[in-house]
Structure 1
Amino acid sequence: MFHSDKLSFLASLLAIRVPPVPAPTITMFFIMYDFSGNTFNCSLCFLNLPDKYSDDDIYHVFVFLTSKRNTMICDCEQCDLKKLFFGAVSNEELQTICSQKEERNYPKGEVIIKEGSEIHDFIYMKSGLVKLFRQSGDEEQIIAIAKPYDFVSLLSVFSEKYYHYSVTALEDTTVCVLSMSLISGMLQKNCAFACNVITQMSKVSDAIIMNMLNICERHLRGRVAYILVYFSETIYRQTVFDLPLSRKEIAAFIGMTTENVIRTLSEFRKDGIINIYGKRIEITNPERLRKVSMLG
């Protein structure tokens, strides 16, 4: 027979009846448990057993759990990043990623990456919104706005020892962190994975370059309209949203003064293009705003 603290742990979890499951079955909820006594998978699982189970029943369940523990998927398997970025990795590599990744939560306004800090980690966003920027005296030079599934560390992570920019949460943000040693090892062993990384690096660079060119080729009204369209159609995908940037930050992003941004927003409101409720923007005439963005 199988007797241990693990058996007691498992047996205690078997004592939960969940209606309307008919007798003679009992539904067991459990989390995967390894022999070191630490939980390693937070997935909720279900199992039906005979109503009157013996020690042998519990033993077989325990054997089943421990035999399956290394094949259970973590949420990396469900994440869009698996298709976007990790599609080229094997199941074994994916399990390594799952076991070594760390999720970090940052409230709005908190610094995620500090300019000048040493690069130790490979970071990508799971949820939230951030700004990438450089500090120039008291002024910020905003480089880009990053949304979920953007790789906020790709600009410097393979070329420099220290970050040349900062990243701050514009909204409550969750990032996934992997050690650079793990990623570097995978790059050396997995050519398809390396190609995916190069592709993503190119996309990040191209997006920043094209965004800056799109802003620079527009006049003041066109720049402000471009930013509003960007937040509406790319970030939030709706016509009513809270601006994640202050007027001053918008000015820094598009290379204009704060006064010009405030005046242009007021003009858009008078023209019936938008409504303004503090930080909340309602785009009442999306087609006209798009036209100003294109021709401005």
Structure 2
Amino acid sequence: MNHSMINSSVSMHALQQKLDLVANNIANVNTTGYKRKEASFQDVLTSIQQQPRGFQKDGRMSPLGYNQGWGAKMVSSQLNLAQGSLQATDSPLDMAIEGNGLFEISTISLDANNTPVQQTRWTRSGAFQLSPSVDPQDPDSMFLTTKDGQYVMGVDNAPIRVPKNHTVKIDADGNIMAYNEGDKGAPPVQAGQVKLMRVVRPQLLQQLGDNLYGLPSDITPQQQGEILQTVTQGNNNVDPITVRQGFLEQSNVNLSDEMSELLTVQRAFQLNSRAVSSADTMMNLANNLRA
């Protein structure tokens, strides 16, 4: 197999991965809180092809030899956490994050032995609702959950509990005050504070589907603090992260940019495929030569 065929076939594989990434961004253009992904590429291998001494001429300052590439590969896909536009809604339970932050939620999944395991996940989507308590001893409480029933965590690392028949008001820091609908004169109840996490190293977050993010399984608690940092009143002065009640953040995907990127990738893929066809045609001609 000649060099041009190797170069083109390797690059086509990387371009296919890039094409899948762009297609995923386009598919989620209307997904609440979705963050677009960007690809990073690097050379697979670059070698120096030596030239005969006959190419050395008087006065030539550059050394003999030229760089020869062997294609490129996609090394990583990174999240672009740029702020999406905010859309007002009619629900007081909808929240949008302004800044480089995530909501923390608790999910239940099954391990290898089909045993339910509680796991911590993070999301940018603030489309929340109130779900009734499953505890028969606590029938007067509602829990703040996602649309899939996953608990929204508070700063006390416990699910946020809201009394029944109460409306909520949420300030910029995520504090939830519950007001009794039946007794307008009753003082509000502090229902909790939404736990917000600042993203320090977004390239280490893993997309798990359903608009959820996770961390690698082999990461230590100390390393987790270097990726996600709990937002507190003391560290929220620089690059603040705030909550907007009654709003949902839209996807930060720009459809026109993604379509332009899609056309560019398709043209590059087409160019490399033609290079493979041309190399195959030349090899076929060489094989059919007769002395």
The alignment's TM-score, normalised by the length of structure 1, stands at 0.27
The alignment's TM-score, normalised by the length of structure 2, stands at 0.27
User: Which structure is larger by alpha-carbon Rg, 1 or 2?
Assistant: 2
The structure showing larger relative contact order (alpha-carbon pairs under 8 Å, at least 6 residues apart) is 2
The structure with the largest strand share of the pair is 2
